[in-house]
Structures are given as structure tokens and as C-alpha cells.
Chains A and B, each alone.
Chain A
Amino acid sequence: MASPLLSRVSPTSNTISFSSSLTNEQSRRPFSTTFHIKPRRKISTVQAKIREIFMPALSSTMTEGKIVSWVKSEGDVLSKGESVVVVESDKADMDVETFYDGVLAVIVVGEGETAPVGAPIGLLAETEDEIAEAKAQASSSKTSSPIPPPASPAPAPAVVVVASPEKVVSAPVSDGPRKIFATPYAKKLAKQHKIDIGSVIGTGQFGRITPSDVEAAAGISPPKSSSSSNVASPVAAGTRIPPPKAAATAAASLPQIPGSTVVPFSMMQAAVSKNMVESLSVPTFRVGYPVMTGALDVLYEKVKPKGVTMTALLAKAAAMALAQHPVVNASCKDGKSFTYNSSINIAVAVAINGGLITPVLQDADKLDLYLLSQRWKELVEKARAKQLQPQEDNSGTFTLSNLGMFGVDRFDAILPPGQGAIMAIGASKPTAVADVDGFFSVKSKMLVNVTADHRIIYGADLAAFLQTFAKIIENPDSLTL
């Protein structure tokens, strides 16, 4: 993000002592690292003789900065390299130096005020003649839309001054009496992810907004169980359990086999474990169905050269079937209602790097096979590089799990939390089949087995869905449409 204004942020000091620069000063000076800010040349509409001084990004995490003090006043003549303003970031106070000679025409953001990174905080005129012009520019930009800040890590809102000084100083967290209770960390996360805390629905105790609510609103899967859960409950007097984790406590009762190694879960494995345990609270049932795949195999041979994968074919087929049976694409969130999902997002379970993830093919019913295949390839690559975006692995409404490539003929999948059904696909195998007339033939048969949440999906629903799915696979031409 080397936006023009950030260039030349060159810390000149790791200085041990600052005493020399401080000795004779009356006012308290910041503990400063100096750097330069290079005012950006204005875009065509504005005269080049007036330069803007931007709020610099003083650290990688800085999104806004507070003006501690203006070292120079309006009208002061500046020469290159002079300190103009002291800015407070989340990390330190720093002197901002000018990179040009000129006159400080206008201070846009006053002392004690805060501005987002990249927003203009002052205007630098080349000569005194341009001061008036700069002032006019400043006032017009204040009333009309201010100059949009250049590409910067923090796309600044179209307001230069974020808050009045009193507000910043005296009430950093309150926005007046409102009945929204968000925990401190939730507020921090909301700020970080630029989420309006007022729009987040609190699910915590007493309806308060918790960090995971904000993460959910930001589309991030909650990383782990809440902090309090690993607080071991009081242990019987006198005993101490070495790793005081809830899980470890349970495991401690099992006999240790000598020579065994304990490898803690990675984040991903921990998430899997948590989801699996959570699934126990859902009443599930399973329905199996044989599907003849002869026609599908023929189609696959045809489209394979065009980059279509079996995964895409199956996802597409499932999506098309789901479109006809929306209840199977629904989920039960609270045990009291159906949540019908507007889009059909097929999550596909993949084993990657010792973990299990479920990249999601969004709107699988709407994309054509080729796009779907292409999308799948991207997802897998991203997953390998651990770059999946949250919505790319947690927005599934239905899951496919395929172990057919290992020769597995049938298996049983566990329903992931938040979804209504998951389909377990076995291998397609040549099987002797008798038709209604008693003729035997050998056909490719694949067994699929769907696990579903019986609170919302009943046996007949699932059976009907499977019937549709089988029809699509057995007459796969519709897949290519």
C-alpha cells in the first residue's frame, strides 16, 4: 500500500537519548521518531501550488491519528525537513516534517482532533500569495465533499474531522445513553472491522454484543471457544490437574499408554473438534439411495477436457436438486423455526494439510458447470495457501463429502452445525442390477447417504430430494444447460 502520502516514512531514530533535543524546551515534546511526509500533488482540479499535508500512517495498524500539537501556526513559513505537526498514533507520538518549502496556509484538523489516515490535515501553499486560495479550498472542501483520500490502508470516511475534541478526550466509548451493551473487545473488533456496533445483534448474556457477534457480523468464523470456557472449574481441594483445560480434564481419566505423544490441535483441528462436539446436540437421521452413474460417467468424459471436475458435477447436481427441495437447504437455528436460505451454497469437504476444510461454491445452482469448475479450482488453491476468505468457508448451506475416490462404497457423515443436511458420496462401482423385467445387467452404481436434521427435514423430504438428485445424475444433460 505504498500510497504517495505514505512514502518516505523513514524513522531516523533508534536514538538512545533524547535529552539533547529536550533540554531547553518549555513545552513537553513528544518522544519522537522523526519522519517525512511527502505531500501529494493534487489531482487535476486543484492548483498544484497548494499541497495537502495528510495524516500519515505511522504504523501498520494505525487507522486514525490524533493531532497532539501543531508545531507551526497558520502563516508560518516552512522549509523542507522542518517539523510541522505532532501526531499521536496508536503506538507513539511522532513529528511530521514537511517535504517541501512553503507556507502553512490552513490547518484543517486542529489540535486534539482526530483524522483518519490519508485525510488532509493541513494545506501547504507554495508562496504567501496562494494562502487565500488555499483557505478557499479548505472551506469549500469542508462544506462540499472533501478530497477523497488516496488509496490507503484505511479508506477514510468522507469526513475529515471525526469527532470534536471534547468527545475524543472525555467520552471515548459512549455515544450518549443508549441501551446497547457491547463488551470492550467487541467494540474494538467492530472498530477494526469497520462494523457499526449498532447494527450488530447481541447474542451474549443479557443480550449483550460479544466479540463473536461482531466477528459473525464481519463474516469471520469465531476462532475458538470463549475465553471463560477454559477456566477450569474449581478442582477438588488438594488436587491439581496439570493442564487445566476442560478437555484435558476429561482425558485425564483415561489410562496413558506409555510412549504416546500428545500433539495439541491446530486452530483448524480445534475448530473441527468443536463443530463435531456441537453436532451432538442435533437429532439427525440418515437416508441412503443408490444412483446409477453410467450417463454421468459418459458426460464426465465429454466435459473433462474442458476442465470440469467430478466435484463440480456433483455439486451442480446437488444444487439443482436442492432448488426443488428448499427444506433440505434450510437450517434450524433456534430449535423453533425453519431458516430458509435464499442461496444454495454447496460446501465441499476437502482434506488439506492434515486438516479438514469446506470451501463453499456459492450459488451453485446458478453458475454453469464451467464457471463452477473454475471457481472450485480457485477455492482449492486458496485453501492450500490458507487464504480462504471467511465467507468462502463458512457460508455453506449444504455439504458434500466424497470418499469415492478411495473406493469407499458407502459412509456416514456428521452434520455440520448450522446446516440442514450433508451428503456422503461413495464410489461408483460396476454392479449387477436386475431391472423390472428381470433382465440382469452390469451398471455403475453409486451409493449416496444423506444425514439431515430431523427437526426440519423429515424422512419423506429427504427421500424426495434423493429421488430428484438421482434423476438428475441419471439424466445429466440438464447439468450442462
Chain B
Amino acid sequence: MQASISLSMASPAIIRSDCAVEFFSINASKPLNLRFCGLRREALGSTALKQLDSSRVVSSRRKQSKKLSASLSSNGSPSKGFDYDLVIIGAGVGGHGAALHAVEKGLKTAIIEGDVVGGTCVNRGCVPSKALLAVSGRMRELQSEHHLKALGLQSHNSQEPLGYFKVSAAGYDRQGVADHANNLASKIRNNLTNSMKAIGVDILTGVGTILGPQKVKYGKVGFSDNVITAKDIIIATGSIPFVPKGIEVDGKTVITSDHALKLEFVPDWIAIVGSGYIGLEFSDVYTALGSEVTFVEALDQLMPGFDPEIGKLAQRVLINPRKIDYHTGVFASKITPAKDGKPVTIELIDAKTKEPKDTLEVDAALIATGRAPFTKGLGLENINVATQRGFVPVDERMQVLDTDGNLVRHLYCIGDANGKMMLAHAASAQGISVVEKVCGKDHVLNHLSIPAACFTHPEISMVGLTEPQAREKSEKEGFEISVAKTSFKANTKALAENEGEGIAKLIYRPDNGEILGVHIFGLHAADLIHEASNAIALGTRIQDIKFAVHAHPTLSEVLDELFKSAKVSL
């Protein structure tokens, strides 16, 4: 069962199964839907900026808000008979995005948080992992004698004849790295908190539970509960690391991403169970810090869910030359933490036959088999809603469905808790979509326009369909598809950086120029994807976008070339 979770959890609504269970790939910009375009641009991307000059940004947002809603001077006033217009349970990135947009729309808004503001992404996910990956990237540069030499830089630590990166050339202070990650998380957390406080969102502390329609209670353990009413309620409780049965997590030698991000120790040899985004990013971090890594993957291929061609190339660059080996097609049926002088033992069974296959003895094991929704104690039974494997069932407008499949009025669920697309920026986009709907503007979010990224070195990013998915769709719906590719090797900026490894791939319809999917593997791929995701969100066709001008020389020319090389028969 276990590792296959990463697939089975994918509900039919999800296009990319892997995205459904990974959380790491929040990135700076948010997929903006057509109607929001140009209206607002807060959330994560600009939080760093806010910190520098928070008053200015906030005030400018206010100005903007006023324009939109004359009644808005602070956090609105509630509709008749309710304490709030909108109550959001969970102050992660999804809840935060929804709250800011709600205030902008003039709704009196409260957000309930039982733990820390920022949720998984900010505290235990994308944000601290980016700090570790930043260190990893620099370590890799310093360790790559060959790379430095090619740039004319000299290092006194001489050759490693085997072509592997040499760790001994650059050293690091583990605690310093861990502190960097922790500091970043608290900085972003403060930014998020302040951005909500500044516009008057009520932050209520405690665990939120739904008592009935439009009624929520919250409170800390041991204190009396407060009951509030709201016209609309959004569930945004997120997810926690999923640990398959048989695996004993002790938080020291058998760990989840929650522990790994604290970087309390760097094992000599670590097994990573699951080769999705989380596993891949951690393999990048650990190998840069000198660990050897063994992947345990339930499927027959590493990196399932990526476009196969991209996955294959990524494996050549990110796995094969590094101190990594892997077991595919196996489950970790039992993992015992290190104790009494014994190492961590991992029992592997065949994913299909369930027969014992192998045993591993390693120094640590990281469980990266995906994430499970955090929906316990929400009081869903009070409104006749049953979760499906923990996920809250919703329709395409994020409206919660009860056990009979009927809409539960005034109740929405966004983000990891609904499992549609387990990415922080997807949650935020869903939250904004819900607020639009609540304000009387029907809105359906196009999940195919939401980009995803994996911050390895180099990075992987994608939006829309993979090639096999596109082929399947084309066969079903009877249209032609074409594929165009460009190489980073032909890009001036990439070559200047001596980072020519990588490709960009475009899957499109030659008959009308529609972009179906874009996949990038290469330097700064995560930042490059947005030209494509915006084009998909806005419905821009290739024949139009190919006339857009890109500064020379920049990495964005990789996409410029990509669009130009597509052959549209119009």
C-alpha cells in the first residue's frame, strides 16, 4: 500500500497525480486567473518586499481596495446576524490568500489558527526547504572543481578524478545552515501575520470546529470555547506528512520532512522513501552536504508524475552522477529506527507480489511518501459531511459536498485538505476563487494553469499536461498535438553561467496554437515557467506569444525560442 499513496490519493479531478501530494513547490508568483489579473499581487511573492517597506505596500493596497469597494475602510462590517462575513479555518498560505482577498472585497474576515500562522509551507515546507536548497546550490558550485575551472576560477583543492562532486572542498556549519532555514521561516511567518493584522483580519487562536451551518467554535485545549457565526466558512486546514503503516518515526533517525527541515543531523547515508518533489529536493540537499542517498520508490520509475522525458533527463543529471542509488518497484514495509547501536533497518517488499525483496541498513530514513489531509476534529459530522481518505469532498468551485453529494451551502474547502492540487499557491488561488464566488462573482479556477516546481539544482518546473496526458487527451478528443523542444545549450545566458544542461518542452495543438503543457528542466526553471502558465491562464496562443519580445541575453529566451520553434498551421 504505502508508497503508492502518492498515486492513489490523486482524485480523478487532479491532472498531475504527483502534485496532489507534494507541497514543496510553492513559488514566488501565484497563478493569477484572468479576472484577477492586475488587481492584486500580494501573497508570498511580495512578502519579502513588504518586510522592507511594509507600510508603503499595505497602504497602497488600501488605496486600491478603496477603489474597489467604497465601504471598505477597515475589515468591513459583517452581514446582518453574523459575527463575520467570512471565517477561514487555518492560516496557511491558502487561508492567508483568501483572507487578504476577502478584506479587499470588503468582507469582515476572521482566520482561526490552532498552531502557527503560515502553515506547512512557511513553517515546515517550501520556505525552510528553499533555505536549505540555497545552501545546497552554493555547496554544489564550490564543490564543482570542473565548473569553477571552466569559469576560470581557481580553487586550491585539486582534482577529484571520478567526476563526482567533491565535498571536502567546501565546508559548512550544520547549525548555521539550520539557523538560516529557521530564521527564514520565522521572517516569512511574521510577514504573513503582519500582512493580515495590518488590514484588520481577526486572527483567532485555537482549534476550529464546525458546529453546524455557518457556526464555528474555536478555543485552546483547557480553555472555554468561543462560538462565532459567519455567513461563509472556508476550511483550509492543510495536510501533514503521510507515514505508511509499518514505519516507526522517531524524529531522529526515521524522520519526515518536518524533522528533516530542522537539519538536526546530516547522516552519512540516508534512505529517502518516495522520489517525488519532497524526496528529490531533500536528495539535492543531503548529497550537497555530503550524505549518500538511497531512494526507495514504489513505482517502477523514479520521479513518477514528471513528464517522462523530463524525468529521464533529470535522472541523468540529478541522480546518476551523484552519490545516489535507488530501489524501484518496492515498498518499505517496515522501518525500524536506529537504537542499541544498530542502524536503521528498512525491509523492502516487491510492490506487486509483496514478497520480501531486500533489507537496507542505513543511518537515517526520510519518509517522503506524500502528505495526508489534516481534517480530523473539524466537526464535519455535524453537517453530514464525510471525508474521503481524509480529504474533504468538493466540487469545482471548492464547495463542500455532503454524504449525499449535495452542496453544503456556505461551506468551502481549499488547499491540501481537498486534495485537488496539493501546492501552496494552488490553495491560495482556490481561496481567491472562493472569495470571488462568495462576493457574487462566479469563478472556476483552471488548475491546468497552475505551475509546479521542484527546486533541485538545476530546477524542474511544469504547467499543464505531460506529453502522455496530452496524447491521451488528443486521442480521446480527436485533435493533433505537437511537441517542440529547445535546449539550454543554445541559450547565451545559460552558457555564460556554464549551466547549459537542460531542456524546455512545449506540448501544443498545431491546429489552433493552444498551449497544452510546458516542462522545463534547467537553470532557474522555476522562475521561467510563469510565462507559460500565464499564457495558459490568459488563453494566449502560440501565434500571439511568439511575437512577444524578450530581453537579450536572458534565460527567458529559452521559452522565446520554444514558442518560435512551434509550428502552428494557421
**Complexed CA–CA distance, A263 and B290 (Å):** 24
In the bound complex, residues from chain A placing their C-beta under 8 Å from that of B289 are 231
Q: Determine whether B211 belongs to the interface, using a CB cutoff of 8 Å to chain A.
A: no
In the bound complex, residues from chain B placing their C-beta under 8 Å from that of A244 are 171-173, 176
Q: Determine whether B115 belongs to the interface, using a CB cutoff of 8 Å to chain A.
A: no
Q: Determine whether B484 belongs to the interface, using a CB cutoff of 8 Å to chain A.
A: yes
**Complexed CA–CA distance, A61 and B269 (Å):** 25
CB distance from A34 to the nearest CB of B (A): 15
Given A28-B308, A171-B328, A187-B325: A91 touches B316 (CB 8 Å cut-off): yes
Q: Determine, out of B62-70, B153-161, B401-409, B437-445, the stretch whose residues face the partner at the interface.
A: B153-161
CB distance from A11 to the nearest CB of B (A): 12
CB distance from B528 to the nearest CB of A (A): 16
Q: Determine, out of A12-20, A43-51, A298-306, A402-410, the stretch whose residues face the partner at the interface.
A: A12-20
CB distance from B231 to the nearest CB of A (A): 49
Q: Is the CB of A173 within 8 A of B482?
A: no
CB distance from A69 to the nearest CB of B (A): 13
**Complexed CA–CA distance, A62 and B9 (Å):** 39
Which of A15, A18, A177 contacts B357 (CB under 8 A)? A177
**Complexed CA–CA distance, A448 and B454 (Å):** 65
Q: Is the CB of A171 within 8 A of B168?
A: no
Which of A19, A232, A240 contacts B171 (CB under 8 A)? A232
**Complexed CA–CA distance, A90 and B321 (Å):** 9
**Complexed CA–CA distance, A192 and B320 (Å):** 13
Q: Determine, out of B216-224, B358-366, B411-419, the stretch whose residues face the partner at the interface.
A: B358-366
Given A28-B309, A264-B157: A172 touches B325 (CB 8 Å cut-off): yes
CB distance from A471 to the nearest CB of B (A): 45
In the bound complex, residues from chain B placing their C-beta under 8 Å from that of A188 are 164, 323, 325
Q: Is the CB of B357 within 8 A of A174?
A: yes
Q: Is the CB of A231 within 8 A of B174?
A: yes
CB distance from A298 to the nearest CB of B (A): 45
Q: Determine whether A206 belongs to the interface, using a CB cutoff of 8 Å to chain B.
A: yes
Digit string of A83-114 for contact with B (CB within 8 Å is 1, else 0)? 00000001111000000000000000000000
**Complexed CA–CA distance, A174 and B347 (Å):** 13
Q: Determine whether B527 belongs to the interface, using a CB cutoff of 8 Å to chain A.
A: no
Q: Determine whether B535 belongs to the interface, using a CB cutoff of 8 Å to chain A.
A: no
Q: Determine whether B85 belongs to the interface, using a CB cutoff of 8 Å to chain A.
A: no
Q: Determine, out of B47-55, B244-252, B427-435, B561-569, the stretch whose residues face the partner at the interface.
A: B561-569
In the bound complex, residues from chain B placing their C-beta under 8 Å from that of A144 are none
Q: Is the CB of A228 within 8 A of B566?
A: no
Q: Is the CB of B164 within 8 A of A185?
A: yes
Q: Is the CB of A227 within 8 A of B172?
A: no
Size of B's binding interface in residues, CB under 8 A: 67
Those of B360-399 within 8 Å (CB) of chain A: 360-361, 363
Q: Is the CB of A227 within 8 A of B290?
A: yes
In the bound complex, residues from chain A placing their C-beta under 8 Å from that of B487 are 15-16
Q: Determine whether B292 belongs to the interface, using a CB cutoff of 8 Å to chain A.
A: yes
Q: Is the CB of B467 within 8 A of A266?
A: no
Digit string of B313-354 for contact with A (CB within 8 Å is 1, else 0)? 100100010011111111000000000001100001000000
Digit string of A341-377 for contact with B (CB within 8 Å is 1, else 0)? 0000000000000000000000000000000000000
Q: Is the CB of A14 within 8 A of B175?
A: no
Q: Determine whether A205 belongs to the interface, using a CB cutoff of 8 Å to chain B.
A: yes
Q: Is the CB of B156 within 8 A of A264?
A: yes
In the bound complex, residues from chain B placing their C-beta under 8 Å from that of A155 are none
In the bound complex, residues from chain B placing their C-beta under 8 Å from that of A143 are none
Q: Is the CB of A19 within 8 A of B329?
A: no
**Complexed CA–CA distance, A17 and B503 (Å):** 10
Q: Determine whether A31 belongs to the interface, using a CB cutoff of 8 Å to chain B.
A: yes
Given A16-B486, A31-B309: A230 touches B167 (CB 8 Å cut-off): yes
In the bound complex, residues from chain A placing their C-beta under 8 Å from that of B171 are 230-232, 243-245
Digit string of B156-198 for contact with A (CB within 8 Å is 1, else 0)? 1111101110111001111110000000000000000000000
Q: Is the CB of B173 within 8 A of A241?
A: yes
Q: Is the CB of B357 within 8 A of A266?
A: no
**Complexed CA–CA distance, A163 and B276 (Å):** 27
CB distance from B264 to the nearest CB of A (A): 10
**Complexed CA–CA distance, A346 and B172 (Å):** 40
Determine the residue in chain A with the shortest Cβ distance to B323.
A185
Given A90-B320, A169-B328, A172-B325: A185 touches B292 (CB 8 Å cut-off): yes
Q: Is the CB of A170 within 8 A of B300?
A: yes
Q: Determine whether B489 belongs to the interface, using a CB cutoff of 8 Å to chain A.
A: yes
Q: Determine whether B293 belongs to the interface, using a CB cutoff of 8 Å to chain A.
A: yes
CB distance from A248 to the nearest CB of B (A): 8
Q: Is the CB of A22 within 8 A of B483?
A: yes
Given A184-B323, A228-B290, A244-B173: A263 touches B156 (CB 8 Å cut-off): yes
In the bound complex, residues from chain A placing their C-beta under 8 Å from that of B562 are 17
The residue in A19, A205, A243, A245 that gathers the most chain B C-beta atoms within 10 A of its C-beta is A19
Given A172-B328, A184-B325, A206-B343: A20 touches B168 (CB 8 Å cut-off): no
Q: Determine whether B17 belongs to the interface, using a CB cutoff of 8 Å to chain A.
A: no
Q: Determine whether B266 belongs to the interface, using a CB cutoff of 8 Å to chain A.
A: yes
Q: Is the CB of B325 within 8 A of A22?
A: no
**Complexed CA–CA distance, A92 and B489 (Å):** 14
Q: Determine whether A189 belongs to the interface, using a CB cutoff of 8 Å to chain B.
A: yes
In the bound complex, residues from chain A placing their C-beta under 8 Å from that of B157 are 264, 267
Digit string of B470-511 for contact with A (CB within 8 Å is 1, else 0)? 000000000000111111011000000000000100000010
Digit string of A52-84 for contact with B (CB within 8 Å is 1, else 0)? 000000000100000000000000000000000
Determine the residue in chain A with the shortest Cβ distance to B360.
A181
Q: Determine whether A2 belongs to the interface, using a CB cutoff of 8 Å to chain B.
A: no
Q: Is the CB of A22 within 8 A of B268?
A: no
Q: Determine whether A384 belongs to the interface, using a CB cutoff of 8 Å to chain B.
A: no
Determine the residue in chain B with the shortest Cβ distance to A169.
B300
In the bound complex, residues from chain B placing their C-beta under 8 Å from that of A183 are 268-269, 292, 323
Q: Determine whether B553 belongs to the interface, using a CB cutoff of 8 Å to chain A.
A: no
Q: Is the CB of B160 within 8 A of A223?
A: yes
Q: Determine whether A41 belongs to the interface, using a CB cutoff of 8 Å to chain B.
A: no
**Complexed CA–CA distance, A266 and B158 (Å):** 6
In the bound complex, residues from chain A placing their C-beta under 8 Å from that of B174 are 231-232, 234
Q: Determine whether A256 belongs to the interface, using a CB cutoff of 8 Å to chain B.
A: no
Q: Determine whether A176 belongs to the interface, using a CB cutoff of 8 Å to chain B.
A: yes
CB distance from A241 to the nearest CB of B (A): 7
Q: Is the CB of B173 within 8 A of A16?
A: no
In the bound complex, residues from chain A placing their C-beta under 8 Å from that of B253 are none
In the bound complex, residues from chain B placing their C-beta under 8 Å from that of A243 are 171
Which of A90, A176, A205, A225 contacts B168 (CB under 8 A)? A225
Q: Is the CB of A235 within 8 A of B326?
A: no
Given A20-B567, A171-B328, A174-B327: A184 touches B269 (CB 8 Å cut-off): yes
**Complexed CA–CA distance, A241 and B565 (Å):** 51
**Complexed CA–CA distance, A265 and B156 (Å):** 7
Determine the residue in chain A with the shortest Cβ distance to B352.
A170
In the bound complex, residues from chain A placing their C-beta under 8 Å from that of B45 are none
Which of A92, A205, A224, A231 contacts B316 (CB under 8 A)? A92
In the bound complex, residues from chain A placing their C-beta under 8 Å from that of B176 are 235, 240, 244
CB distance from B512 to the nearest CB of A (A): 15
**Complexed CA–CA distance, A227 and B308 (Å):** 33
Q: Is the CB of B485 within 8 A of A17?
A: yes
Determine the residue in chain A with the shortest Cβ distance to B347.
A177
In the bound complex, residues from chain A placing their C-beta under 8 Å from that of B316 are 90-92
CB distance from B556 to the nearest CB of A (A): 15
**Complexed CA–CA distance, A244 and B324 (Å):** 25
Q: Determine whether A142 belongs to the interface, using a CB cutoff of 8 Å to chain B.
A: no
CB distance from B140 to the nearest CB of A (A): 14
Q: Is the CB of B327 within 8 A of A173?
A: yes
Q: Determine whether B294 belongs to the interface, using a CB cutoff of 8 Å to chain A.
A: yes
11 contacts between A and B (CB under 8 A): A15-B487, A16-B565, A19-B482, A173-B325, A184-B269, A227-B167, A231-B266, A232-B171, A240-B173, A264-B157, A266-B158
A169-B300, A230-B168 known, 16 other contacts, Cβ within 8 Å: A17-B562, A19-B567, A22-B484, A61-B163, A90-B316, A92-B316, A170-B300, A174-B327, A176-B358, A183-B268, A184-B293, A185-B323, A205-B343, A227-B290, A234-B175, A264-B157
The 5 closest A-B pairs by CB, nearest first: A227-B290, A19-B484, A17-B565, A184-B325, A264-B156
